[in-house]
C-alpha cells in the first residue's frame, strides 16, 4: 500500500483528492464514515490509516462438473482509494480460501480467527510502516468498516444462521406486508417456511377445529409459529399451548408487538432519540392494534408525550389511557391535526378500518377521510419530524407526500425485515 509513491497517493485520496460538493461518490461521503470519524478522531486525523471492507461467499469452482462442492474465499479491500480503484479486482486481497467440499457453517469463526486477531492488533496497536512518498515511518492502524455479503453469507459470518429451522406462518386474517416480512426474514436467515394465509376460511378453522388442536398439530411440523388471529388474546392462548415459540403477528384489535418494535426502531433511526419526543397517533385508534402496541412501548421511555387524534367513533380505548396514566406518560386528545402535527416529532397515521364497522356504514363514512396528511399538513411540521404509517393506506396520506424526505413509512416497512430477522434469530438460536 505504501511501498510505492504512486499507490501512496491513492491511499490518501479519500482525504485529499475527493470532491466535497454534497454528492455521494464514495464511501467517504456516507454518514457512517463521518460518524466513525467523530467517534474516533485519533484514527481519523491520520489519513494513511486503512479502512477495510470484508467480503466472503461460497462458490463452486468446478461449475457443472460437481454441484456439491463449495469453496469460500475471504477477501479484503481498502476504501481509502478512489472509487475507480477500490472495487477493482487488482485491489482485492484474498486473505483466506476456506476449502470445501461444504460451506464452513458454524465453524467459520475457527477459520476466521487468525484474520480477526490480526485486524484487532492493527486496530489496537498498529504497525510501523514506511511511506515511500515521504520516506518516513509512521504507525499505520486499520479498521474493518463494513462487511459485504448477501444474506445467506451474512448469516454464516455473523452466526445468525437459522439454517435447518422451519417456521410456520399461520394467518387467520389476510396479510401481505407482515406475512411476507416474516417469511423473507426467515429465508434470509437461511431457514424455511410453511405458510398459510387466511386460515380462518381455508383451513380446519372453517371446519370448527379448536385453536389449541391446530397449534399442537402445527408445532409438530415446525420450530416456530408466527400467528395472526382475528381474536384478541389468541396469540397468548397459542403460546400457552405450544412447546415451541409463538410470535404474535397481530391478534384482532389487541396487540401487534413486532410492529411496535419496528416502529420504535424506525423512530430511533430517523429522529436519533426516543426520550423527550412528542408522538401523534392519528386515525382508527379504537381498532388499530399497531397504535395500541406502540403506546405501550412508548411508555417505557422518559419524557414522552402522546397526542391522540381521531374521529369520535374510533377514539383510543380507556385501557390504553389508564395504562399510560399509571406509567406517568403525558397524553392528550385533540381534534386539530395541524396544530398537533406542528408540535410533534412523529405523526403516526393509520387507516380507518372499514371491516370493523359491520353494517354501520354511516359511522364509517363519518370517520373516513376526516384526518388526511397532505402537503398542507407537511407545511406545518418541523423539518426533522417524520410521517409514519403501518400500511396499507387508502387516502389518509396523499401520494404527493411520498416524495418528501419526512415520509418514512416505506423505510419503516423495510425496517420490519431487520427487526423480524433479529426476533427469529433470538427465539431460535439465542444471542
Question: Catalytic residues, which ones?
Answer: 177-178, 207, 228, 256
Pairwise CA distance, residues 427 & 424, whole Å: 5
Q: How far apart (Å, rounded) are the C-alpha atoms in residues 249 and 258?
A: 7
Structural contact between residues 58 and 67, judged by C-beta atoms closer than 8 angstroms: no
Q: What is the DSSP letter of 387?
A: E
Q: Could you tell me which of 343, 244, 350, 243 has the C-alpha nearest to residue 293?
A: 350
DSSP code string of 14-83 = HHHTS--SS--SSGGGSHHHHHHHHH-HHHHT-TTSEEEEEEE--B-TTGGG-TT--BEEEEEEESSS-H
Q: Rg for the chain (alpha carbons), in Å?
A: 26
**What Å distances lie between residue 38 and 24, 34, 41, CA to CA?**
19, 6, 6
Q: Which residue(s) pair with 136 in the sheet?
A: 131
Report the number of secondary-structure helices (H) and strands (E) in the chain: 18, 15
- Length, in residues, of the chain: 431
Cell numbers at 60, concatenated: 463452486
Grid cell 386460515 in the structure block, residue: 199
Distance CA 382, CA 344 (A): 8
* Degrees to nearest 5, angle at CA 382 with 376 and 385: 100
* Residue whose entry in the numeric block shows the C-alpha cell 408487538: 257
Which segments within 61-219 are labelled E, that is strand? Answer: 72-78, 93-98, 127-131, 136-140, 142-148, 166-171, 192-196
CB 344 within 8 A of CB 385: yes
Distance CA 81, CA 10 (A): 5
Is 380 within 8 Å of 373 (Cβ atoms)?
Answer: no
Q: Strands across the sheet with 330-334, in order?
A: 330-334, 305-309, 278-282, 346-349, 386-388
Q: Distance between CA atoms of 274 and 281, rounded to whole angstroms? A: 16
Given the C-alpha cell 505504501, which residue does it identify?
A: 2
Q: Which residue has the cell 509513491?
A: 5
Amino acid at each position: 500500500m505504501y511501498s510505492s509513491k504512486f499507490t501512496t497517493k491513492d491511499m490518501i485520496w479519500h482525504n485529499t483528492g475527493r470532491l466535497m460538493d454534497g454528492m455521494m461518490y464514495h464511501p467517504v461521503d456516507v454518514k457512517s464514515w463521518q460518524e466513525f470519524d467523530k467517534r474516533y478522531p485519533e484514527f481519523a486525523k491520520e489519513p494513511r490509516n486503512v479502512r477495510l471492507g470484508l467480503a466472503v461467499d461460497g462458490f463452486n469452482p468446478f461449475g457443472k462438473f460437481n454441484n456439491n462442492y463449495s469453496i469460500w474465499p475471504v477477501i479484503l479491500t481498502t476504501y481509502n482509494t478512489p472509487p475507480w480503484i477500490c472495487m477493482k479486482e487488482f485491489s482485492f486481497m484474498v486473505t483466506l480460501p476456506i476449502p470445501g467440499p461444504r460451506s464452513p457453517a458454524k465453524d467459520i469463526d475457527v477459520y476466521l480467527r487468525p484474520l480477526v486477531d490480526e485486524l484487532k492488533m492493527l486496530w489496537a496497536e498498529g504497525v510501523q510502516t514506511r511511506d515511500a512518498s515521504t520516506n518516513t515511518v509512521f504507525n499505520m492502524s486499520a479498521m474493518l468498516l463494513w462487511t459485504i455479503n448477501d444474506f445467506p453469507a451474512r448469516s454464516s459470518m455473523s452466526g445468525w444462521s437459522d439454517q435447518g429451522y422451519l417456521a410456520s406462518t399461520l394467518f387467520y386474517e389476510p396479510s401481505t406486508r407482515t406475512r411476507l416480512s416474516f417469511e423473507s426474514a426467515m429465508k434470509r436467515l437461511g431457514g424455511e417456511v410453511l405458510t398459510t394465509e387466511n386460515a380462518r376460511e381455508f383451513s380446519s378453522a372453517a371446519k370448527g377445529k379448536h385453536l389449541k388442536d391446530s397449534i399442537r398439530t402445527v408445532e409438530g411440523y415446525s420450530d416456530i409459529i408466527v400467528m395472526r388471529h382475528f381474536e384478541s388474546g389468541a396469540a397468548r392462548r397459542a403460546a400457552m399451548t405450544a412447546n415451541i415459540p409463538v410470535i404474535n403477528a397481530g391478534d384482532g384489535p389487541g396487540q401487534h408487538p413486532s410492529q411496535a418494535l419496528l416502529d420504535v426502531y424506525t423512530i430511533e433511526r430517523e429522529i436519533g432519540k426516543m426520550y423527550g419526543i412528542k408522538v401523534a397517533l392519528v386515525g382508527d385508534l379504537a381498532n388499530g392494534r399497531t397504535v395500541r402496541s406502540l403506546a405501550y412501548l412508548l411508555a417505557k421511555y422518559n419524557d414522552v408525550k402522546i397526542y391522540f387524534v381521531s374521529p369520535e367513533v374510533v377514539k383510543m380505548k380507556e385501557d390504553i389511557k389508564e395504562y399510560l396514566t399509571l406509567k406517568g406518560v403525558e397524553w392528550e386528545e385533540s381534534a386539530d391535526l395541524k396544530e398537533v402535527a406542528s408540535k410533534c416529532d412523529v405523526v403516526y397515521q393509520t387507516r380507518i378500518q372499514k371491516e370493523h364497522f359491520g353494517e354501520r356504514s354511516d359511522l364509517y363514512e363519518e370517520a373516513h377521510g376526516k384526518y388526511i396528511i397532505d402537503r398542507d399538513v407537511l407545511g406545518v411540521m418541523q423539518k426533522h419530524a417524520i410521517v409514519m404509517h403501518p400500511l396499507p393506506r387508502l387516502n389518509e396520506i396523499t401520494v404527493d407526500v411520498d416524495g418528501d424526505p419526512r415520509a418514512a413509512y416505506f423505510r419503516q416497512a423495510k425496517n420490519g425485515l431487520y427487526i423480524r430477522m433479529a426476533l427469529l434469530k433470538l427465539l431460535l438460536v439465542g444471542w
